[in-house]
């Protein structure tokens, strides 16, 4: 079914107010009044809807602000159990577009772009670039059944990106010169530790829930990271990992890593 996103504030009394852009999309799809569609509140709930009728039995589809009648509310099935933030160094426009699109498809919770020493394509107008990437995230979320639209933001510096990424339960820094730890090893060690901590909490006297699974993925620009950047990431507590002997393109590395995380955690 076709999918739309709204703010929770647009939902009231069994109906959902849709915007003029949604109306244009409905007209382009030639959506009939009897057809069902999905409206998502961006907070984990999907609403199965049909167009509400206006006075005289006319469908709201021709109105600039159509109204959806809620038929059923169900939990969104498109959100993974693991919360994964993807941090992508600036790259050429089409490469960054691809990385953001595929990260949303695979289940990234949020996406951050950032500068690093070898970046060759830092945009002059960062807000405009972020707005374009956020639009890509929205359109992708609609098509692939996500329950949220992952926010896309820009870190002011490499250090800011690392400071944020290092807070995750498993903070991965993709570095082609890493020789001792493969991504698979880092995932296995982390999942074993997570299971142990979860079991200890359940067996304890308190009733706190298990720790939330969170992963961050930091990938570099064309040419990779400088050694000093890798050392900085290590000092911040991140795990430097390799994806093997083949060098992946800057737009491929975040997608491959995210797919591996989702597979390993049972979300793919």
Neighbours of 156 (CB within 10 A): 10
Task: Indicate the pairing of strand 83-89 with strand 110-114.
Answer: parallel
* Inter-residue contact 200 to 132 (CB < 8 Å): no
Which residues, in sequence order, are bridge partners of residue 260? none
Tokens of 109: 């919770």
In contact, 106 and 255? CB cutoff 8 Å: yes
Give pLDDT tens digits for 249-266. Answer: 999 999 999 999 999 998
- The domains located in the chain, with CATH, are 3-75 (2.40.240.20), 83-264 (3.40.1280.10)
Could you read off the pLDDT of 231-242 as tens digits, one per residue?
A: 999 999 999 999
Q: Is the confidence at residue 211, as pLDDT, over 80?
A: no
Q: Which pTM was predicted?
A: 0.83
């Amino acid at each position: 079914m076709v999918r739309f996103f709204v703010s929770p504030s647009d939902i009231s009394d069994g109906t959902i107010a849709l915007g003029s852009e949604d109306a244009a999309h409905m007209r382009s799809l030639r959506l009939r009044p009897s057809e069902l569609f999905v409206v998502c509140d961006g907070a984990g709930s999907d609403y199965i809807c049909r167009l509400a009728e206006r006075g005289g039995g006319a469908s709201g589809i021709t109105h600039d602000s159509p109204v959806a009648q809620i038929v059923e509310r169900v939990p969104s099935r498109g959100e993974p159990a693991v919360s994964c933030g993807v941090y992508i160094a600036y790259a050429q426009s089409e490469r960054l577009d691809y990385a953001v699109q595929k990260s949303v498809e695979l289940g990234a919770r949020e996406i951050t772009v950032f500068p690093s020493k070898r970046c060759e394509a830092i945009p002059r107008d960062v807000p405009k670039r972020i707005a374009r990437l956020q639009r890509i995230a929205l359109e992708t979320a609609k098509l692939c059944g996500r329950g949220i639209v992952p926010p896309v933001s820009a870190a002011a510096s490499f250090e800011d990106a690392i400071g944020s990424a290092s807070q995750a339960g498993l903070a991965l820094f993709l570095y082609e010169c890493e020789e001792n730890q493969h991504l698979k090893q880092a995932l296995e060690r982390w999942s074993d530790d997570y299971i142990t901590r979860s079991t200890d909490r359940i067996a304890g006297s308190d009733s706190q829930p298990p720790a939330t699974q969170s992963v961050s993925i930091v990938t570099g620009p064309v040419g990779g990271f400088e050694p000093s950047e890798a050392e900085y990431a290590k000092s911040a507590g991140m795990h430097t990992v390799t994806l093997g002997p083949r060098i992946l393109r800057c737009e491929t590395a975040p997608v491959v890593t995210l797919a591996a995380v989702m597979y390993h955690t049972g979300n793919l």
